[in-house]
Amino acid sequence: MKYIKLILFFVSLNFSSCSYTEEFRTLKSGTFSIDLPDYLDKMEGVTETTPHQFGNMFRNFFIIVEEIDKSEEPTLTITKKQRSSVAFLISPPTVNNFEISERNEVNQHGLSGTLLMAEAVVGDEAINEVIIYRMLTLENEDKMYHLVLWTWKKWEKKYAEVIPQILTTFKAE
């Protein structure tokens, strides 16, 4: 009986530690801010291109924010940045059928840029999942910001309100 109670205790502890609210919190960096759901935590090792990495392995939901000083890369354009990001995404042999479904010009909070919506089949013979990507690249006179968000396509409806809310709250400070 003690073992059953102990097992039930650990199971309930496990479930309670994985519960999240749907509330958003504002993350402020030195030059930008963005609202993220409370279930996205700071991560490391998602990419080497930026320290601004957030995600949730259980929800398979990730976002990175790259901050580029335009004085250090004066020839970089939004189109070039997005093309290099796409090239990076499709470089692994496990990424197939990458398609850009939509491209929209964006103006928000004094920044202008482009939002690319794409998807790809990611995996190998054993596991294949369709992943949706949102690549938002924005700029002002001094900085360019490149946000890449991705999750499973099968959860696209689940995050139908969350994804735009995250992307539209991005601001240069």
Q: What is each CA distance from 119 to 2, 28, 75, 105, in whole angstroms?
A: 50, 29, 28, 19
Domain containing 144: what range?
Answer: 19-172
Tell me the pLDDT tens digit for each residue of 71-83. Answer: 999 999 999 999 9
84 within some domain: yes
**Predicted local confidence at residue 19, as pLDDT:** 52
3 within some domain: no
146 within some domain: yes
CATH of the domain at 36: 3.40.1000.10
| The two three-digit tokens of residue 53, written as one number | 């990495």
Flag whether pLDDT at 42 surpasses 90. Answer: no
100 within some domain: yes
**pLDDT grade, residue 13 (50/70/90)?**
very low
**Residue 64 burial (C-beta neighbours within 10 Å; 0-12, 13-18, 19+):** buried
Summary mean pLDDT of the chain: 87
Structural domain total, the chain:
1
Question: Residue 32 and residue 172: Cα distance in Å, rounded?
Answer: 4
2 within some domain: no
